[in-house]
Chains A and B, each alone.
Chain A
């Protein structure tokens, strides 16, 4: 019983770390892109090289990519301890919800009922697809 409890707790911790790192990564990258501005406009002004330069010289972007890398290695670590059928849908669906909350809190996006409903539908839909 204690073993089972420990295993459930360990799975929750591994899934939690994937979700947190993925959310931090997505929010930092989205925030970096907002800071840089509309890439279509930058491309029209300074060409493709200018647009690439604007992205790769942004510190926040690299912090986001680093967080995504942490999420990826957390996923690999989790997959070596738990089943893919648990880890993949659980982390994917929870990330949709945490990204919506983080988008509202940190990026100050206007998350209306429509977007909440969409996030919940994707969350449940991803779980059902993995069954």
Chain B
């Protein structure tokens, strides 16, 4: 009910100059502060979850095929369990984001996770970041800026066609 009202509202906002144009879609912003927080969580939870798994598995050490049951034990360790919880949270937030924003909006907007990994490496693990990496960080940050300034959702409407000849004659 709520959704159909939103669609009707969107349809009424079609500019008069385009009234006879055959539209197949229109874009609008569906973003709120809470939804930006969801995108931020998508960006951060995936690299953080991967890092947790990495730390956990490094502590357990190499797992051989002969002792594959070690993997089941790994799931119960705090780091691996934390990583799994974060990755489940990532997937749930990613699905939620795709339900109110376009794929071509969500992917660039959440690519900031790559930057988070590089910054963690620089300031937490004190790794050196080359000039090429700083350029990469700048490009991804710019991409997030570009895409989040634009509309987030493509609204698919029924094509609005010009009235056919019979209707015009009846008028």
* Chain A contacts to B: CB under 8 angstroms: 26-27, 29-30, 33-34, 36-41, 44-45, 55, 96, 99-100, 103-104, 107-112, 114-115, 117-119, 121-122, 124-129, 131
Query: How many residues of chain B are within 8 Å of chain A by beta carbon?
Result: 43
Tell me, rounded to whole Å, the shortest Cβ–Cβ distance linking B90 to chain A. Answer: 13
B121 CB → nearest A CB, Å: 10
Residues in chain A near residue B139, CB distance under 8 A: 121-122, 124-125, 128
Among B117, B118, B139, find the residue whose CB has the most chain A CB atoms closer than 10 A.
B139
Q: Could you list some 13 contacts between A and B, CB below 8 A?
A: A38-B3, A39-B96, A39-B99, A40-B99, A45-B1, A99-B107, A111-B104, A114-B146, A119-B143, A125-B137, A125-B138, A129-B133, A131-B130
Complex CA gap A61/B137 in Å reads 32
Nearest-Cβ distance from residue A75 to partner chain B, whole angstroms: 13
Contact between B99 and A37 (Cβ–Cβ < 8 Å)?
Answer: yes
Return the CB mask of B96-119 against A: 1 if under 8 Å, else 0: 101110111101100100110110
**A33 and B99 within 8 A (CB):** yes
When A34-B99, A110-B27, A115-B108 are in contact, do A121 and B146 touch as well, CB less than 8 Å? yes
1/0 per residue B130-146: CB within 8 Å of A? 10110111111011101
CB atoms of A127 and B98 under 8 A apart: no
| Contact A40 to B146, CB < 8 A, known contacts A108-B156, A126-B114 | no
* Contact between A33 and B143, CB atoms less than 8 A apart: no
Say yes or no: is B154 at the interface (Cβ < 8 Å to chain A). Answer: yes
Q: Which residues of B contact A (CB under 8 A)?
A: 1-3, 24-27, 30, 95-96, 98-100, 102-105, 107-108, 111, 114-115, 117-118, 130, 132-133, 135-140, 142-144, 146-147, 149-151, 154, 156
Q: Are A107 and B103 in contact (CB under 8 A)?
A: yes
**B55–chain A nearest beta-carbon distance, Å:** 18
* Residues on the A chain within 8 Å of B151, using CB: 110
Closest chain B residue to A103 by CB distance? B104
Q: Do the beta carbons of B102 and A129 come within 8 Å of each other?
A: no
Chain B residue at minimum C-beta to C-beta distance from A54: B99
Partner of A40, one of B25, B100, B102, B117: B100
